[in-house]
Structure 1
Amino acid sequence: MGISQPRVGKNTFVSRLELPRFTPRKKEENASYRIISKDGKVQIGLQQISFFKRRRYWKNILTTVLQLKWRWMFVIFSFGFLLTWTAFAIIYYIIALVHGDIGDHYTGSNRCIAQVGSFTAAFLFSLETQHTIGYGFRHITTECGMAVLFVFLQFILGIGVQCVIAGLVVAKLQLARRCGKTVLFSSKLCVGTYDGEICLMVRVGNMRQCNLVSVRGYGVLMERETIEGNEGHYILRETSLEFTSENGGDYINLFWPAVMYCVIANNPSKFVDRLLDDGSELAITLEGIIESTGQNLQVRTSYKPQEIELGKKFFDLVPKYIHNNDQKSYHVIDHKDFHLTEIDPNWIQHFEKN
């Protein structure tokens, strides 16, 4: 496991992006030119998508709705209820109008719907029917069979609308990306030595008590290269990276904060130069399964050159055993040192050798 060769030539994955021209400015300003934000959002917008292509979103309406922000979901839900209330209110009003029940002058006792003599009353009856609030003075009678039929239909439709809305809310609350908010990446990426090899090192941790299983890490080094004779356009070249655990295994144990390693096997000095170039960005993705729900989890972050520390390694975080007077024993991890790094004493020796 380690670094694969950049995909170049015929098989190169090349993206021509309309990106701001990257010039050597202050490092703090360069941080804004991220393709992947620190919290994992892909900062690439899609332009000039025709109306006919946008219709594809409706072919998978569930995913489209779940990806909306909460405020838009609230608007959709509100309009869903208002639409059904209003639609059936209009139907009840028309039934009452045809039957001659509308108007204050009507004094008969054989109305289709008791005490419904205006659209406002019809709307309130529709709301009470759909949500089974309970009828007061307004109630259905046996005078009009059509009104009874639509009350029956509104009961069925109302239950369906409420089930769909409740299901969407639960599904959105259970989205794996929400659970990923508790997965923590180190603020810095270290380039140092481990087990006699020069490695990239990233610390990850799970803030929740629930366990993550089958956790794997991988990354992509994205490098911008200017197209000759075409100002403002860039070629985006990718180099795939594979991260492993401390023992070299593919799966990473997140019972406590762990460090992921990516061995730089070929020409480390050249790769470090590429890593520290102003136009480079290293995106790291962590995948796993939430043990309690079985959901797949994917979280990501990125590192710019100013967030990479050479000749450093992460401070060791070791679970401490605690035994209290209640005869309860447990281990604790101090997250205060999660982002803490220290000098790697073997860095110069190994780097000069390579």
Structure 2
Amino acid sequence: MFESLHKRIQETLVERRTRRARLVTKDGRCNIEYGNIMYSKHFAFLADFWTTFVEIRWRFVLLTFIASFTLSWFIFGLLWYWIARSNGDLEWQNPTKDHVPCLDNVMGLTTAFLYSLETQTTIGYGGRALTAVCPGAVALLIIQSLVGAIINCFMCGVILSKISLPKKRAKTIRFSEMAVICPKGNSLCLSIRVANLRKTLMIGSQLYGKLLRTTSTPDGETIIMDQMNIDFMVDAGKDNLFFVCPLTLHHIIDKSSPFFDMAVDTLHKQEFELVVFLDGTAESTSSSCQVRTSFIPQEIMWGYNFLPIISRSKEGKYRVDFSNFSRVVPVATAHCAYCFHNIKGHHHHSINGQDNQSFEVIDISDPSNVTKL
């Protein structure tokens, strides 16, 4: 009993380590870090300060927002205090009754800070005001107004750019959690489902994939993260997709495919990562965006097919049932790609498929579970 429990724990830990080793997470983030960058190279990020501010986290944007306004108010408050002190306007300088101040009702550092805040934010309570006695104070008023306008424009631009980043649109593009391998017509295909959760289209959508794995050259050189192109297509082609409803992507497993040498009992023993990309332009904002996800061998099910999710209502409208988006059923599938293409009768060889407990499988014998096309 304890040996079985220990074995199961070890298998779970190995599976978790394998899943953490992926380059691209399921939500599209790249699991990579950079080290030993020369210190001088960091100034390149400061030179491209706009992109740096747009890409930093919200907490740093808010900190910069608060700090920029507060520091500008305080620095100009010190300058107003210096002007008032130079003219003898401060309370501790005991100005005479006939003294004409540069700044009315600015008698200390606190009131100078308040005057700076009221000037830059154009509040104007009416208690403190600038007179025409000091030309330097007029020049400082112009400078602070221009600096305040620049800070306002810059911070509003940064916040608006972060809110409208194209990757936010990518959050409404959903890939299936698993990929499946099953026959499609006269071909054996690896299939992935993708859906656009918004009614607005993704114009000019293009789909493609990269297979990442570690390979060795004949010279004995090990290439980490070697990339191989994986072509995907739908029934209507692979370019300029009409992405108004969920689509099922197909990669044909033929002799040129890297999946050709794999079989149902060896697939999960492989070490690779399939990264799928969707490029397109949002119809509402005309901004280009890219959606990414990845699949490791443990997330590919051999001998299963997706359930249909599109039906037509009595009113004549097309309905997408997302409850079936990640649901699959077992189908008759050859146990290897070589058998499918070369051995007669293996095109419809019935197997139980390679199961994965995290993926929902249903029995299609119940007619209520099937969504008709």
**TM-score normalised per structure 2:** 0.80
Residue 306 (structure 1) aligned to one of 292, 298, 319? 298
Residue 344 (structure 1) aligned to one of 324, 331, 337? 331
- The answer to whether residue 173 in structure 2 is matched with residue 173 in structure 1 is no
SS of 2:294's equivalent in the other structure is strand
The residue correspondences of 1:307-322 to structure 2 (distance < 5 A) are 307-322=299-314
Match of 1:185 in 2: 175
Higher relative CO (CA 8 A, sep ≥ 6), structure 1 or 2? 1
- 1:96-120, CA deviations, whole angstroms, 9 ceiling, x for partnerless residues? 1111112343354511111111111
Gaps of 5+ in 2: 1-10, 342-373
Match of 2:108 in 1: 118
Residue 334 (structure 1) aligned to one of 321, 340, 349? 321
Larger displacement relative to structure 2 (140-149 or 68-77): 140-149
Alpha-carbon RMSD across the aligned residues, in angstroms, is 2.5
Do the aligned partners of 1:216 and 1:244 also contact (CA within 8 Å) in 2?
no
Equivalent AA in structure 1 for residue 305 of structure 2: K
Do the aligned partners of 1:188 and 1:339 also contact (CA within 8 Å) in 2?
yes
Q: Shift of the alpha carbon at 1:345?
A: 2.5
SS of 1:246's equivalent in the other structure is coil
CA distance in 1, matches of 2:102, 2:313: 76
Match of 1:50 in 2: 38
SS of 2:171's equivalent in the other structure is helix
Q: Shift of the alpha carbon at 1:226?
A: 8.0
CA distance in 2, matches of 1:196, 1:102: 92
Do the aligned partners of 1:205 and 1:257 also contact (CA within 8 Å) in 2?
yes
CA distance in 2, matches of 1:88, 1:124: 10
SS of 2:30's equivalent in the other structure is coil
CA distance in 1, matches of 2:199, 2:135: 59
Q: Shift of the alpha carbon at 1:25?
A: 5.6
Match of 1:20 in 2: none
CA distance in 2, matches of 1:270, 1:52: 48
Residue 205 (structure 1) aligned to one of 170, 178, 195? 195
Do the aligned partners of 1:114 and 1:140 also contact (CA within 8 Å) in 2?
yes
- 1:71-99, CA deviations, whole angstroms, 9 ceiling, x for partnerless residues? 00111111111221122111111111111
Q: Shift of the alpha carbon at 1:349?
A: 9.2
Q: CA separation of 1:132/1:189 partners in 2, compared to 1, >3 Å: closer, same or farther?
A: same
SS of 1:199's equivalent in the other structure is strand
CA distance in 1, matches of 2:306, 2:91: 80
- 1:279-325, CA deviations, whole angstroms, 9 ceiling, x for partnerless residues? 211111111110111110101011111111001111112142342xx
CA distance in 2, matches of 1:135, 1:25: 66
Equivalent AA in structure 1 for residue 239 of structure 2: D
SS of 2:318's equivalent in the other structure is strand
CA distance in 2, matches of 1:188, 1:331: 25
SS of 2:239's equivalent in the other structure is coil
CA distance in 1, matches of 2:165, 2:233: 27
- 1:165-207, CA deviations, whole angstroms, 9 ceiling, x for partnerless residues? 1111111111010111111000101111212111111100011
CA distance in 2, matches of 1:350, 1:180: 34
Match of 1:79 in 2: 67
Q: CA separation of 1:147/1:275 partners in 2, compared to 1, >3 Å: closer, same or farther?
A: farther
CA distance in 1, matches of 2:84, 2:229: 70
Equivalent AA in structure 2 for residue 265 of structure 1: D
CA distance in 1, matches of 2:69, 2:263: 58
CA distance in 2, matches of 1:258, 1:107: 83
Residue 76 (structure 2) aligned to one of 88, 95, 113? 88
Which structure has the larger Rg over C-alpha atoms?
A: 2
Q: Shift of the alpha carbon at 1:262?
A: 1.2
Equivalent AA in structure 2 for residue 185 of structure 1: F
- 1:107-143, CA deviations, whole angstroms, 9 ceiling, x for partnerless residues? 5451111111111111110110011111321111112
CA distance in 2, matches of 1:286, 1:145: 61
Do the aligned partners of 1:197 and 1:263 also contact (CA within 8 Å) in 2?
yes
Q: CA separation of 1:38/1:262 partners in 2, compared to 1, >3 Å: closer, same or farther?
A: same
Residue 259 (structure 1) aligned to one of 243, 248, 256? 248
Larger displacement relative to structure 2 (268-277 or 311-320): 268-277
CA distance in 1, matches of 2:216, 2:73: 58
Gaps of 5+ in 1: 1-22, 324-328
- The answer to whether residue 233 in structure 2 is matched with residue 244 in structure 1 is yes
